[in-house]
Amino acid sequence: MPPLDVLMVWHAFILNPRCFLEDCYRAGKIDFWRTGLPWMIIDALIDNNFSYNLPHTAINSWQANTNMSVENLDCPDTIPIHCPKCKNPVPIPMTNPRDDTGYADSKFSQACPNRNCQAVLNIDTLSRAKFIECLDRLTSSAGTLLPGTVLDRDGKPNPEVMLPDKTWMFPNEMCKYLQTSLRTCGSDPRTADLNDIKLEMNKSLKNRKFLKSRRIPYRYLDREGKISFRRMMSRFWSNPSPFAIHLVGAVIRQGSFVEKMAEIDWLHSPAIVDTIEAATRKFERFMDMIKNHPSQCVVPTLNVDLIWHTLMGNPVNYWKYTVGLTEKFIGHDDKIDEARLGEAYAWTCEKYEKLHMLVLRSNPLPLPIHYETLLLLKTPSSARRPRSQNPRLRALRRPNP
């Protein structure tokens, strides 16, 4: 098992199911994708004070395989980043309190110390370097597909994706044709960034003579082709990491969800089992809404999202459930802007009430524990579901001593 901070990142990554599948697929790590989060092992490593305690064997294994300490405070203050121009490793401070230009700071920017290079290292130039690295892998004997082109629009890496005439494969073919100009574009090689690559692509895509000379069907530039390009480029914008999604942002967004969970404190509710069972039924209804309204954004309440997160922790089961129900591998977008989110939630409330004759609260937060318990006490025992005999679930119903 990894250290707690790595486990936290892994958890946030797996809650972006399409990106997680895409990266595992491209890296040849499908066995890792199938593994999912080992909840039983994690549970065994958490004591009664909610401390995560790694055994010595896990600590030794981590240090031997990564040459890194389990404790963040024992890790070096700098991180080696390869210069996008001269390719030499540059030691970058993790944080620079004087001007916020460290790697983890908001104004990250460093100059390559090589006098013959002096390239600028920042989020934009490193994102471009990531694109060039992916382009190199695409044009090598490995032929690794570009990020964002592995899955079709339904989120599935079906065998047909390998056929060159598929629209979502178009970015790979186009980048192969443009590989020389994409590697050298930009007025200043010291500050060349991803926007230079975008401009070079747009210039070529508007050149019908070029497309005809390369025998690229113009039909690829229809709506589907444009979507495939945007999806591919989305893997690189402000994301110099090797992953399809910027995991720093993913962890921060998941942190706000965890804070809400801690505030509500469902874990110590005497009605927890009934609460989770009710949330599970509501989750099934939400998935039916997603199935029947594929073009509509359906916004879950917090308790539904909790069930959703739990199922995504096992990617194989989540695949079977969503593909079996909707014929699509359902994504979990947590980056929707507030205006669109509000409109989508209003639609969800209205639709849910019509379908189930139940009012969905306008505030997507669940009821507080004390109110939940009162509702449970007012419900006749004959109307409740049979309680689980699992001793672990029964233990959760006991209030804190």
What confidence tier does 219 reach under pLDDT thresholds 50, 70, 90? low
pLDDT of residue 126: 95
Q: What does the angle CA 155 – CA 152 – CA 147 come to, to the nearest 5 degrees?
A: 90
Give me the mean pLDDT over the 193-201 stretch. Answer: 90
Which pLDDT value is given to residue 226?
76
Q: What are the structural domain ranges in the chain? A: 4-75, 78-234, 265-362
Q: What is the model's pLDDT at position 381? A: 47
- Give the separation between CA 287 and CA 342, rounded to whole angstroms: 19
| Total Cβ atoms within 10 A of residue 130 | 20
- Give, to the nearest 10 degrees, the angle between helix 302-312 and helix 247-264: 130
CA distance 75 to 253: 25
pTM of the model: 0.84
Burial 50-71 (b: 16+ CB within 10 A, else e): eeeebeeebeeebeeeeeeebe
If pLDDT is split at 50, 70 and 90, which confidence band does 370 have?
very low
Nearest Cα residue to 28 out of 108, 109, 131, 145: 145
Q: Which two tokens stand for residue 362?
A: 């306008």
- pLDDT at residue 32 in the model: 95
Tell me the C-alpha distance between 216 and 177, whole Å. Answer: 10
| The pLDDT value given to residue 215 | 64
